[in-house]
């Protein structure tokens, strides 16, 4: 079996396959480093929006209770 892998028709694919695997690994490492910093920036940019949204939702319940109080309960 090992001898059939090293015959000329199959051996022409070994070197280009190794080169493609090395280049793919190198590009993947660069992509992952770039993606990490992009995700960090996106998270920092989105965080205040989520904070304001959470505050608005928590205040919404108070507003609903305020508007549903009857005037007879006021002193």
Whole-number pLDDT of residue 28: 93
Least confident range from 13-27, 32-46, 57-71: namely 57-71
Token look-up 């070994």 returns 14
Average per-residue pLDDT in the chain? 75
Supply the pTM of this predicted model: 0.45
Whole-number pLDDT of residue 64: 59
C-alpha distance from residue 11 to each of 7, 17, 37, 65 (Å): 6, 10, 40, 77
pLDDT band at residue 29 using 50, 70 and 90 as cut-offs: very high
Percent of the chain with pLDDT over 70: 51
């Amino acid at each position: 079996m090992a001898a059939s892998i090293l015959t000329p028709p199959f051996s022409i694919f070994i070197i280009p396959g190794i080169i493609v695997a090395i280049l793919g690994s190198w590009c993947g490492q660069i992509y992952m480093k770039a993606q990490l910093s992009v995700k960090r920036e996106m998270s920092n940019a989105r965080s205040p929006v989520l904070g304001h949204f959470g505050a608005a939702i928590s205040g919404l319940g108070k507003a609903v209770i305020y508007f549903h109080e009857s005037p007879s309960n006021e002193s």
